[in-house]
């Protein structure tokens, strides 16, 4: 496994004392591993440098049309990617191990309310928002964090949305600890009776996976409190679950998603999004991938877990597979052998419209037995902290050898 890439100085991570999130408090050895993860993540983020000087913050990153659901019916939804200040969690802790969205932001430079509004106006000039019953507004961070997006910008954007009677629901994204009730209520009021849904990266109900593998910085208990708060305000929540975090085997990754969906169902949540891990620059996942320590999930794994969800939960769980096209470039993504990939991706797109696993009937390829099943049988008897510690040590040695 040859090492590549530049030298990264592993500095001691500083615990985040200002966040309302519950800090992961495991055994001392686990906390030391978390410090190592955060130090590596922070060093990799610094390789991003400053944002290019020619970025126009009155123009969004982009937008795209996807399938959405409203009142259990498939509809068109518009996804708007605003160019933002960037996620504060990245600045404090290095951020989540797989997320490279910070590359698409200003990387800390404040974006004004006027600039955010101009970005939304740019989309209004290019697209007829009246064609979309659901509009999703993402800022590659936390829309309710005043440091990342001024409330004045949210309220002005909502006033524009109020002019489109066909828009029934607005979806935004934010960490649960960066979503104060006051800001949520102000957006809900500005939407004038439309549904507000807050999507958030729950990732995994397993505390070690959530915090050591992903560096999420909160717990399932935090999620329960957040879900209860939002429900009391009449706001919908949509958990985003990560398919194959780093440091898990293929079989463990499938089981982790299934266990997390079970957790969500037990809380009365019947709609979740699967976010499929991609390899994005200057992330922990990227560093592992460069050294052959990480492979994105097999497409067969997605089909397997969707079929298992149907068998276990039936109509109690509607599981949507988010397309793995994001606001930043991906270097690798969910795949099989290459020959069957296109057919499976099209089947997943059809499934997203109906949530009918019959779309996967008849799909087969030699790689299902020759590659995927072999991957699902692979075991790792080490604990998660042991795996992380040893793989990070390997990365350090690889970088020394590369000098």
pLDDT digits (tens, 9 = 90+) for 92-141: 999 999 999 999 999 999 999 999 999 999 999 999 999 999 999 999 99
Lowest mean pLDDT of 64-68, 333-337, 370-374, 399-403, name the range: 399-403
The whole-number pLDDT of residue 301 equals: 98
> Whole-angstrom Cα distance, residue 70 to residue 90?
33
Q: Is the pLDDT of residue 8 over 50?
A: no
Residue 11 has what pLDDT?
32
Main-chain phi, psi angles of 370, to 5 degrees: -80, -30
pLDDT-derived band at 17 (thresholds 50, 70, 90) equals very low
What pLDDT is recorded for position 26? 66
Confidence at residue 327, expressed as pLDDT on a 0 to 100 scale: 80
- Tell me the mean pLDDT in the region 139-167: 97
Q: What is the mean pLDDT of residues 158-164?
A: 98
Q: Can you say how many angstroms the Cα of residue 72 is from the centroid of all Cα atoms in its chain?
A: 23
**Contact indicator for 364, 337 with CB cutoff of 8 Å:** no
Place of tokens 């936390």: 142
Which token pair is 305? 């877990």
User: pLDDT at position 402, please?
Assistant: 82
Please, are residues 255 and 288 in contact by the beta-carbon 8 Å criterion?
no
Assigned CATH topology for domain 28-402: TIM Barrel (3.20.20)
**Intra-chain end-to-end CA distance of the chain, in Å:** 16
Tokens representing 223?
């999620």
φ, ψ (nearest 5 deg) of residue 175: -65, 150
Angle between helix 299-313 and 341-354 (nearest 10): 30
Q: How far apart are CA 164 and CA 135, in angstroms?
A: 11
- pLDDT average, residue stretch 315-338: 94
Write down the residue that tokens 């109690």 correspond to: 316
Interval 254-307: pLDDT, tens:
999 999 999 999 999 999 999 999 999 999 999 999 999 999 999 999 999 999
Domain ranges across the chain: 28-402
Q: How confident is the model at residue 4 (pLDDT cuts 50, 70, 90)?
A: very low
Helix axes 384-402 and 28-46, enclosed angle (nearest 10): 40
Percent of the chain whose pLDDT exceeds 90? 87
Count the Cβ atoms, other than its own, within 10 Å of residue 125: 7
Mean pLDDT of 319-326: 92
pLDDT > 70 in the chain, percent: 94
Count other C-beta atoms under 10 Å from residue 72's C-beta.
Answer: 10
Q: Where are the beta strands (DSSP E) in 29-133?
A: 62-70, 73-81
- Cα–Cα distance, 94 to 46 (Å, whole number): 9
| Mean pLDDT on 362-370 | 97
pLDDT exceeds cutoff 90 at 326: no
Tell me if residue 35 falls in helix, strand or coil.
helix
Q: Return the closest-CA partner of residue 286 out of 9, 43, 11, 33.
A: 43
Q: What is the mean pLDDT of the segment spanning 216-231?
A: 94
Q: Would you state the pLDDT for residue 6?
A: 32
Look up residue 279 and give its DSSP letter.
Answer: B
Q: How far apart (Å, rounded) are the C-alpha atoms in residues 143 and 183?
A: 9
The answer to whether 142 touches 84, Cβ cutoff 8 Å, is no
Is the model's pTM score more than 0.75? Answer: yes
135 burial class (0-12, 13-18, 19+ CB within 10 angstroms)?
Answer: buried
* 24: confidence class by pLDDT, cuts 50, 70, 90: low
Beta-carbon count within 10 A of 344 CB: 21
pLDDT for 18 equals 35
- Mean pLDDT score across all residues of the chain: 92
Mean pLDDT confidence for 367-376: 97
């Amino acid at each position: 496994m040859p090492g590549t890439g530049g030298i990264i100085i592993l500095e001691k991570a500083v615990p985040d004392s200002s966040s309302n999130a519950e800090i992961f408090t495991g055994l001392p050895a686990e906390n030391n591993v978390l410090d190592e993860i955060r130090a590596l993540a922070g060093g990799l983020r610094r390789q991003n440098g400053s944002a290019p000087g020619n970025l126009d913050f009155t123009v969004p990153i982009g937008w795209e049309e996807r399938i959405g659901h409203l009142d259990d019916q498939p509809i068109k939804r518009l996804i708007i990617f605003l160019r933002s200040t960037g996620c504060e969690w990245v600045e404090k802790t290095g951020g989540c191990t797989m997320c490279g969205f910070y590359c698409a932001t200003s990387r800390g430079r404040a974006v004004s309310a006027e600039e955010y509004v101009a970005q939304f106006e740019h989309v209004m000039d290019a697209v007829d928002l009246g064609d979309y019953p659901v509009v999703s507004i993402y800022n590659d961070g936390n829309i309710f964090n005043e440091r990342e997006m001024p409330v004045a910008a949210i309220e002005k954007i909502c006033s524009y949305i109020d002019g489109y009677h066909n828009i029934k629901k607005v979806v935004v994204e934010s960490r649960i600890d960066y979503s104060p009730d006051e800001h949520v209520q102000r957006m809900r009021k500005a939407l004038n009776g439309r549904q507000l849904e807050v999507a958030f990266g729950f990732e995994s109900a397993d505390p070690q996976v959530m915090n050591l593998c992903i560096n999420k910085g909160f717990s399932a208990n935090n999620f329960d409190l957040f879900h209860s708060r939002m429900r009391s305000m009449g706001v919908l929540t949509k958990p985003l679950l990560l398919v194959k975090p780093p440091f898990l085997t293929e079989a463990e990754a499938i089981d982790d998603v299934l266990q997390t969906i079970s957790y969500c169902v037990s809380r009365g949540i019947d709609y979740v999004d699967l976010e499929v891990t991609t390899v994005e620059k200057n992330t922990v996942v990227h560093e592992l991938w460069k050294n052959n320590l990480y492979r994105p999930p097999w497409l067969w794994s997605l089909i397997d877990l969707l079929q298992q969800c149907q068998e276990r939960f039936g109509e109690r769980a509607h599981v949507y597979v988010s397309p793995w096209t994001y606001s930043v470039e991906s270097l690798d993504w969910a795949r099989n052998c290459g020959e069957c990939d296109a057919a499976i991706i099209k089947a997943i797109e059809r499934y997203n419209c109906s949530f009918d696993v019959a779309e996967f009937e008849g799909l087969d390829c030699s790689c299902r037995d020759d590659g995927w099943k072999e991957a699902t049988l692979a075991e790792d008897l080490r604990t998660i902290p042991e795996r992380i510690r040893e793989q990070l040590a390997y990365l350090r040695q690889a970088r020394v050898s590369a000098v």
